Amino acid sequence: MEKILNHPLIKHKISILRDEKTTTKEFRELISEIAMFLCYEALSDAKTYDKKIKTPIMETTGQIINEDNYAFVPILRAGMGMVDGVLKVMPNAKIGHIGLYRNEETLEPVKYYYKLPKNIESKEVFLLDPMLATGGSAVNAITMLKNDGVKKIKFLCIIAAQEGINKIKEIHPDVDIYIANLDEGLNNIGYIYPGLGDAGDRIYGTK
């Protein structure tokens, strides 16, 4: 399943994000804010348990999410930009890291770091990366998580190309994809258009 956020506020924020004149500070803030909305949407089927609470008026039953059941896993570098935002929504979730970069000629992902929270196999993982282009990085990261026993994975991205969505759906059809905006396509060097350029470079001010 893929869910594309279709909301004027998201469109507004993405338009500012795309603008090449947007500063590094503002770019980071927007990535984090949009990630927060993606996380909100991805939690819409979260299980809750009942808890008795007392308001200043009376006793009632509240619904609580067990935050310990969740882990956020950003794909480095650019995925790190989404961590602040998702932690605002779920501050007690655990964090793992998968380091991947795309070889600029082959566009194949290259792994350089991998560290996950303990008991990851019993948690639902929200895998974070702002850009889903060819889908190579996301598919590789999902395979690594599954090899470590993770059974429930959601992929959260800000901008996606249809090629990347198709690749995840073909290889990992059980993974739900949450997308802030579906763009027009991929250019001949594997960049999303109209896109926003290189997300990692814009978050960190490199290049």
Q: Kindly tell me which residue out of 17, 142, 175, 199 binds ligand URA, with binding defined by CB under 6 A.
A: 199
* Cβ atoms of 197 and 191 closer than 8 Å: yes
Pick out residues in 17-76 that bind ligand PRP (CB under 6 A). 75-76
Binding pattern for the stretch 44-83 against ligand URA, x by CB under 6 A and - elsewhere: ----------------------------------x-----
Looking at the Cβ atoms of 74 and 200, the one nearer to ligand URA is 200
For residue 30 the two structure tokens come to 């927007």
2: β partners? 177
157 makes contact with ligand URA (CB under 6 A): no
Torsion of CA 203, 78, 161, 167, to 10 degrees: 180
Per-residue burial over 21-35, b if 16 or more Cβ lie within 10 Å, else e, is ebeeeebbbbbbbbb
Told to check if 182 binds ligand PRP by CB under 6 A, we report no
77 in catalytic set = no
- Active site annotation includes 106: yes
Asked about 198 being catalytic, the answer comes back as yes
Listed ranges 25-33, 65-73, 88-96, 131-139: which one lies at the site for ligand PRP (CB under 6 A): 131-139
Per rule CB under 6 A, is residue 192 in the interface with ligand URA?
A: yes
Whether residue 95 contacts residue 72, with contact meaning beta carbons closer than 8 Å, is answered with yes
Cis? peptide before 194, omega within 30° of 0: yes
Whether 153 contacts 171, CB under 8 Å? no
Annotated active-site residue 201? The verdict is: yes
**If binding is defined by CB under 6 A, does position 109 make contact with ligand PRP?**
yes
Contact between 180 and ligand PRP by CB under 6 A: the answer reads no
Q: Which helix (H) or strand (E) holds 40?
A: helix 24-42
Do 191 and 18 meet the contact criterion of CB atoms below 8 Å apart? no
- Interface contacts to ligand URA, rule CB under 6 A: 78, 131, 133, 191-192, 195, 198-200
